[in-house]
Structure 1
Amino acid sequence: MPIRKLSPLLVNQIAAGEVIERPASVVKELIENCLDAGATRIDIAIEEGGLKLIRIADDGHGIPAEELPLALTQHATSKLETAEQLAAIETLGFRGEALASIASVSRLRLSSRTPDNDSGHIIEQAGDEITPPRPAAMAPGTVIEVRDLFFNTPARRKFMRTAATEFGHIADTVNRTAMVHPAVGFTFTHNGRKSIDLPPNDDQRQRCVNILGKELEPALLEFEHHDTRPIENDAEGQPLQPASIWGLAGEPSIARSSSKFQYLCVNGRPVKDRNLAHAVKEAYRGLIAPDKQPVAVVFVELDPTLVDVNVHPTKAEVRFTKPSSVHGLALSQVRQRLLATDLVPDASLKGSGGWGLGVGGLGQGKGDTPAAPIATPTPNAFVDYFKQMDPKQKGFVYEEVKREMVETDMFADAEPSAAPASEIRNPQPEVRDILQFHNSYVVTHDNTPGREPGLIIVDQHALHERIMFEEFRQRILVAGGNLESQRLLMPAVVDADAKRQSLLDNVKPLLTRLGIEAEPLGPSAVGVQAFPSLLFERGVDPIAFMNELLDKAEAGDLSSTDLRPEADVDTAEAALHEVLDMMSCKAAVKAGDKLSDTELAALLAKRDEIERSSSCPHGRPTTVRLTLKDLEKQFHRA
């Protein structure tokens, strides 16, 4: 076939294939135009999921009659003029493709009136047929009606889902856009039934609560941060706009099974960004189960020159010039807000017979151990565990535990501590009444400041798992040291084919930090020459441990591990999390282990010291709280 120039209609329909994926895409593009036009109220009405009708009206500044035909042509926009402006986009729309693309695959009517005119004008287009503008009585603003979407491209229309599904996508689009613009009022009606009604002039938090649901408000933790210095300077050496962030971090108890309840925004634009999404999920690492997603709202403001919004035809994705800085900003602020909050869930006694949890119940998670009789570790295990800790981090726990053990002749050979008295965090620990129940749970009183008195119930395995994880993380990732290791009299032989043997080179830095020495032994085996002292003393099998570690390496879970001193701490923590989870789970006391009073006291003392003690590394709660008021209700005292 000879080379020929495509018709304008076909060009626009090809563009529509990239810009207009479904009815929600039309709504998104048109709402962005309304906002750029200065609208303070936007009304959206659809029929049959938007396939029959999409009608959007605003009270913005309108389009002059003489510009209406131009508005429907390709690459026509009032928001961009020079290439320099393209490097610092400050409007939501700018490509000039939306109206032309929509008009090419629908029956479109555009009505608009500017505030300085007494009447508006209407222009219509169906396929490549365009009517000239004609006068119409209307209020200032713009109304766009899109009927019979994809009527002339049946191949596209047959891929549309049910009206209910398309309605859901549109509602999500409206909510995500409305959340970022609390000063603008939004209504959304489907088949004559109003489903969204957001008043104008909300404050930012209230708009988010109105969309997320008022029942979640008590569990939404607000955070805000404004950098005092810019990320970098412009080409002339002038400082760029410093970054800022505002958001709401949902407590782990309201985590969901999908990321639908995560709202990410950059410079007033709702976006889908892996960098920001990863930062948010990473901030919750160890607080929620791996298969759960946090509820979160994160709004980032950057200098426009530091973010490229033109990387995708729908403008739904962005690219940062300093992605690590944005990632670190979001991660640190969400994490700090969570760490500053008491996240222990409240238990409640419902009626006269059952336990309930205000957070939705406790579930079995990865790493959980059933409450079954398990061999009790040797008495020296806990003392040896505390001896592994850096003296400056021991605090009163090791000192008090060891003193009591020596006084009772349980551990007469325990070494004296090297930590001076000035470094002991709390030389007079609180005396508690402690009960171990079913050799699995620890019960003691709760006198947390600012909270109602009551009881706390601790899962000993989950809590000790968190303690072990934090100790490993501090030693390996923060302090940059290696775990102490113990050489084996005879190598532990692990079956490994050539492929698994080749993985040893990839994880060599990791093995060194863990205190593991392993080398190939012949064509089908690996020999473990040294193993972490703490794991060995806790009875962890080197062969089973190495098999699991090699499984993770083969699955690619350890491919991004970077343990160099100059490596980013957060990145290293993310890469090592799987291994540290495995280590802490295997080394922790198990459900069914009988603990002495001294060991129980040590466990609870460490709970008060470590970060994120409310959950194990897998996100399962370590502790639940039962208030005195709930108990009194059961006994009809209140």
Structure 2
Amino acid sequence: MKIRKLPTLLINQIAAGEVIERPASIVKECVENSIDAQATQIDIAIEQGGHQLIRISDNGLGIAEDELELAVSPHATSKLHSPDQLAAIGTLGFRGEALASISSVSRTKITSRPTRDGKAAEAAAVLEVEGSRLSPPYPAACAPGTIIDVRDLFFNTPARRKFLRQPSTEFAQINEIVTRIAMCNHNIGFRLTHNDRKITDLPPNQTRAQRVISLVGKDIKNGLLEFSHEDLAEHGGATLWGMAGLPEIARATNKFLYLCINGRVIKDRNLIHAVREAYRGLIPPEKTPVAAVFIEMPAEDVDVNVHPSKAEVRFRKPKQYFGLVRNAIRQCLLDNDLMPTAKLSDDAVPAFRPVEQEKVPETEATQAFVDYFKKMAPKQKGFAYQEVQRAIQTEVSKEAPLLNDTFTQAVSEQEVVDTETGEVMAAANDAAPILAAEPQGLNLTPVKILQIHNSFVVTEDDQGIVIIDQHALHERIMFEKLTARVLGTNSGAPKSLESQRLLMPEIIEASQNEQELLEELKPLLVRLGIEVEPIGPHVVALQAFPSFLYSRKVEAVPFMRELIDKSLEGAISINDPAAEENALHEVLDMMSCKAAIKAGDNMTEDQLAELLAQKDKFERTSNCPHGRPTTLRLTLKDLYKQFGR
């Protein structure tokens, strides 16, 4: 078989296989060309999800009549002139493949009226292309700018046309790419219609914040936090601006995570990981934060010539930009109150009426609490526990006590350990504090505080009632203490956790593969006070275990079995520094969860006061390490509304 040079049409159709995957690809390429042409208004009209028509209109610089035929030739562009420019690409398009590829698989019409030196041409010129057939340009009338009509996509490649999805699915993809491009270009107006129905209409010259809110939805406007870093010499003069969503509005997909570099929509695992790391411990692992990140940086610091779609990029200094994004968002979250507000439905209680309403079944204890609250003076902002308890005890029978002397009963059969040292402090039946011991002189002054059902702690702040999940909050406090010790963030020198050697080693069944995993994790396990040695083909011996876990009666074998299972799933690995950090957090997560106060543990008044005191000493106490909320706030405004005041 002889080697032959391929015909131009076939070359373009092969290139279209990489560049034009679906109608959304055409929209992306044409809109980016409009942006490069300095357009300030771009209109996108779609019919039947792009199957029938895609029309892109702009008011940009346009294409001269004598360049129209060249514009649909392969590798013809006005954006690059020398190889040196590839090292610092400042435009969205640069390969010169888009129009050639589009016209080779569709019926394309280009109408353009160019503007040069501020003066528009007297008339527009029209070029029609159908596969390999080009009609000579002819004059027409239109406003300055360019209109590209793409009809009957893949009409001459039926094998590809049959893989097009339903019009609704294809339009959803178009809407998504237009949204992302519009997000990155707030100075440009965008109008999107589908079957003559307006979908998006964004005015030009919005601020970045206005554009973000317009696209993600005004309903979550109050859940967005603005952050920025400017003129950072250590990042080559890069500037960063963005909006980060509160943890409570995190989504199940990454649809609301936007990344933009120099006006270009990108997909970058490194930056996505940076955003997720900033939210570590604030949202569940399966959720994705709502965030929009915009970076302006020197063009030579990023390579966009990586993939035909130009969405994937490579950074010259990826670690620096990872740290820039992660630290900026993390600091933004630390600087704001992340405590979620309890949402009360308007239908939660009936509207106030003089006639008696049917009561919703509820426990006597809860009814007693509500009844007493109704008797309070309107100006009374909170409640004292002793007063509430006395009032309730006179109204509730002994068969349904509300508190059962919550403030005086100690947790039975539990030892308490200082998480800083791993040392056993005392037994719970000796009335030892359930939290880590504090320095002498800690002022545990009485506060307005209740323990409800031995699971939740209720107190007040200046905005209303605060409800705390005692297990989740203590888990976060323990996690922060353990992390600080192991990483040395407070003391300056990392330290291993205190370990207790076992007189009789615990025997754990482990396959050869599992033994290899444990050997790989050995440096990490030693830091955490765990020593495991193989003693047979399918057996390992646990020689040492963290002291504080033993003191909290955490069973060693089930703990190690869970650790091994997580390693097999890939959740715990130390293949690289980033993975090692993730593995450390994962294991400390496990330790904190197992050792923390449990729901159902009765706590003394001093223990409750200490738990709240510890809450203010650590960051990120609004969420447990798994991302679940530790605290909810019921505002005074909602209370007044629910009680008809």
The TM-score with structure 2 as length reference comes to 0.85
- 2:180 maps to what in 1? 176
- 1:581 maps to what in 2? 589
Distance 1:530 1:612 in 2: 31
Distance 2:227 2:415 in 1: 42
C-alpha change, 1:386 and 1:549, in structure 2 (3 Å) is: closer
Specify every segment of 5 or more residues in structure 1 that has no aligned partner in the other structure, as ranges: 232-240, 356-374, 391-397
- Equivalent position SS for 1:346: coil
Distance 1:143 1:416 in 2: 72
1:111 maps to amino acid: T
Does structure 2 conserve the Cα–Cα contact (< 8 Å) formed by 1:225 and 1:246? Answer: yes
| TM-fit CA distance, 1:588 | 0.7
- 1:143 maps to what in 2? 147
Question: Superposition pairs for residues 519-598 of structure 1, below 5 Å?
Answer: 519-560=533-574, 572-598=580-606
Question: Superposition pairs for residues 363-382 of structure 1, below 5 Å?
Answer: 381-382=415-416
Indicate yes or no: 2:292 matched with 1:297: yes
| TM-fit CA distance, 1:16 | 0.1
- Equivalent position SS for 2:199: strand
| TM-fit CA distance, 1:243 | 1.5
| TM-fit CA distance, 1:503 | 1.7
Q: 2:317 aligns with which of 319, 322, 336?
A: 322
Deviating above 6 A after TM superposition, structure 1's stretches of 4 or more consecutive aligned residues are 414-417
2:226 maps to amino acid: E
Deviation track 1:507-546 (CA, whole Å, cap 9, x = no partner) reads: 0111111101111122221111111011010001111111
Distance 1:177 1:415 in 2: 51
Q: 1:488 aligns with which of 477, 496, 502?
A: 502
Distance 1:558 1:104 in 2: 49
Deviation track 1:197-239 (CA, whole Å, cap 9, x = no partner) reads: 00111111001111111111111100000243144xxxxxxxx
2:315 maps to amino acid: F
User: Which shifted more, 488-497 or 9-18?
Assistant: 488-497
Deviation track 1:55-91 (CA, whole Å, cap 9, x = no partner) reads: 1111111111111110010000000011110010000
Distance 2:214 2:147 in 1: 26
Q: 2:189 aligns with which of 182, 185, 190?
A: 185
| TM-fit CA distance, 1:144 | 0.5
- 1:469 maps to what in 2? 479
User: Which shifted more, 624-633 or 518-527?
Assistant: 624-633
2:110 maps to amino acid: L
Q: 2:643 aligns with which of 623, 630, 635?
A: 635
| TM-fit CA distance, 1:435 | 1.3
- Equivalent position SS for 2:88: coil
2:520 maps to amino acid: N
Distance 1:313 1:107 in 2: 22
Does structure 2 conserve the Cα–Cα contact (< 8 Å) formed by 1:461 and 1:590? Answer: yes
- 2:369 maps to what in 1? none
Does structure 2 conserve the Cα–Cα contact (< 8 Å) formed by 1:477 and 1:572? Answer: no
C-alpha change, 1:388 and 1:378, in structure 2 (3 Å) is: farther
2:113 maps to amino acid: R
C-alpha change, 1:353 and 1:74, in structure 2 (3 Å) is: closer
Q: Percent identity?
A: 55
Distance 1:444 1:206 in 2: 37
Deviation track 1:120-164 (CA, whole Å, cap 9, x = no partner) reads: 101111010001111111111111000000000111111111000
Corresponding residue pairs, total: 578
Does structure 1 conserve the Cα–Cα contact (< 8 Å) formed by 2:444 and 2:610? Answer: no
Indicate yes or no: 2:319 matched with 1:307: no
Does structure 1 conserve the Cα–Cα contact (< 8 Å) formed by 2:465 and 2:635? Answer: yes
RMSD of the TM alignment (CA)?
Answer: 2.5
- Equivalent position SS for 2:545: strand
Q: 1:346 aligns with which of 324, 330, 341?
A: 341
Q: 1:388 aligns with which of 421, 445, 456?
A: 421
C-alpha change, 1:77 and 1:442, in structure 2 (3 Å) is: same
C-alpha change, 1:46 and 1:517, in structure 2 (3 Å) is: same
- 2:95 maps to what in 1? 95
Distance 1:503 1:574 in 2: 16
1:484 maps to amino acid: E
- Equivalent position SS for 1:482: coil
The TM-score with structure 1 as length reference comes to 0.86
- 2:132 maps to what in 1? 128
| TM-fit CA distance, 1:575 | 3.1
| TM-fit CA distance, 1:576 | 2.1
Question: Superposition pairs for residues 157-168 of structure 1, below 5 Å?
Answer: 157-168=161-172
- Equivalent position SS for 1:87: helix
C-alpha change, 1:526 and 1:215, in structure 2 (3 Å) is: same
Question: Superposition pairs for residues 447-462 of structure 1, below 5 Å?
Answer: 447=462, 452=463, 454-462=464-472
- 2:458 maps to what in 1? 443
1:326 maps to amino acid: Y
Q: 1:622 aligns with which of 606, 622, 630?
A: 630
C-alpha change, 1:552 and 1:571, in structure 2 (3 Å) is: closer
Distance 2:279 2:437 in 1: 38
2:619 maps to amino acid: E
Does structure 1 conserve the Cα–Cα contact (< 8 Å) formed by 2:106 and 2:154? Answer: yes
| TM-fit CA distance, 1:560 | 2.9
Distance 2:234 2:448 in 1: 53
Does structure 2 conserve the Cα–Cα contact (< 8 Å) formed by 1:380 and 1:411? Answer: no
Specify every segment of 5 or more residues in structure 2 that has no aligned partner in the other structure, as ranges: 351-408
Does structure 2 conserve the Cα–Cα contact (< 8 Å) formed by 1:282 and 1:574? Answer: no
Does structure 2 conserve the Cα–Cα contact (< 8 Å) formed by 1:254 and 1:294? Answer: yes
- 1:257 maps to what in 2? 252
